[in-house]
Amino acid sequence: MLTSTIEAAPELAPLADAGRRRERRERLLAIAAPLAVLLVALCSWELFVRWNNVPPYILPGPLLVLQTLWQKWGSLQMSLLFTVKLTLLALLLAVVGGVALGTLFALSRYVEVSLFPYAVVLQVTPIIAIAPLIMIYVDSTMGALLICAWIVAFFPILSSTVIGLRSADHNLRDLFTLYRASPWQRFRLLQTPSALPYFMSGLKVSGGLALIGAVVAEFVAGAAGKETGLASRIFEASFRSDIPLMFAALLLVSSCGILIFLVTSWISHKVLGHWHESELKRER
């Protein structure tokens, strides 16, 4: 559309080129500015540790953390894979269960009134309080950890799905009624597109919460002496006062969370980027 418009009106070409250059500058700034802040923070941290001769068992420098990460990568890699697998499985179950139950809630008021209070109870109950009970009553360690992470990640998907399915424009609802659309047509063509922005927002939140739930559950499992993931490495390192190893494991946890957010943001952009206002680029 834009290309044909420019071909029909060549005088608009400089404006289009300026818009593309502005977009490239914005992308470069979005990448360069956070990296610059990170570089300044890391350099300041390293200089502070060196100038004040801070012992590594109190505060290790970034270079020592990276060195520890390189030296202990063998054991940390297995723990990272365990944590990532647990997080992704919990997120997948949260998406499947949240969307399915949220759809039932949106389609049936009786189902929502009957079950929604229990979903709220799961949400407001601190996972650190019920994780030990889950570890006791569930024989499988992986199954217990998965339940803990799923509980934390489930509610945002459920809530966003219900709100999204009910947020369809009432005028469009009347139009579908006027044309005698079937319930399936109404759900597929009206309610589902209306719910997508809400669902994507809930997915971003649940991705981080799934990782938090996995880490909390791993701490409980680590306290019970069971082999788990990165949180267990942090827990074990704290007993040995191996602070560099704690920072290295924490770096991997944070990197995992950042990657999950970037992936879910990319998915949201691909799904919504061509039609929804939240992802469309506007001139300022």
pTM of the model: 0.85
pLDDT of 225 > 60? The answer is no
φ/ψ region of 225 (left if φ > 0, alpha if ψ in -120 to 50, else beta) reads left
pLDDT, position 220: 79
Question: What are the φ/ψ torsions at residue 230 (nearest 5 degrees)?
Answer: -65, -35
* Sequence spans of domains, the chain: 1-53, 61-272
Mean pLDDT of the region 210-238: 79
Instruction: Specify the CATH number of the domain 61-272.
Output: 1.10.3720.10
Over residues 189-213, the pLDDT tens digits come to 888 988 999 999 999 999 999 999 9
**What secondary structure does DSSP assign to 115-174, as a single string?**
HHHHHHHHHHS-HHHHHHHHHHH-S-HHHHHHHHHHHHHHHHHHHHHHHHHT-S-HHHHH
pLDDT of 2 > 50? The answer is no
Q: Dihedral through CA 259, CA 261, CA 266, CA 270, nearest 10?
A: 140
pLDDT of 6 > 50? The answer is no
How would residue 224 be classed by pLDDT, with cut points 50, 70 and 90? very low
Mean pLDDT of the region 250-265: 93
Task: Tell me which of 218 and 228 has the higher pLDDT.
Answer: 218
Mean pLDDT of the region 49-56: 92
Residue pair 238/90 in contact (Cβ under 8 Å)? The answer is: no
% of the chain residues with pLDDT over 70: 87
Over residues 13-46, the pLDDT tens digits come to 565 566 677 777 877 887 888 889 999 999 999 9
Task: Identify the residue whose tokens are 């990448």.
Answer: 31
Which of 247, 231, 212 shows the shortest CA–CA distance to 42?
247
pLDDT, position 111: 87
Over residues 93-152, the pLDDT tens digits come to 999 999 999 999 888 888 888 888 888 888 888 888 888 888 888 888 888 899 999 999
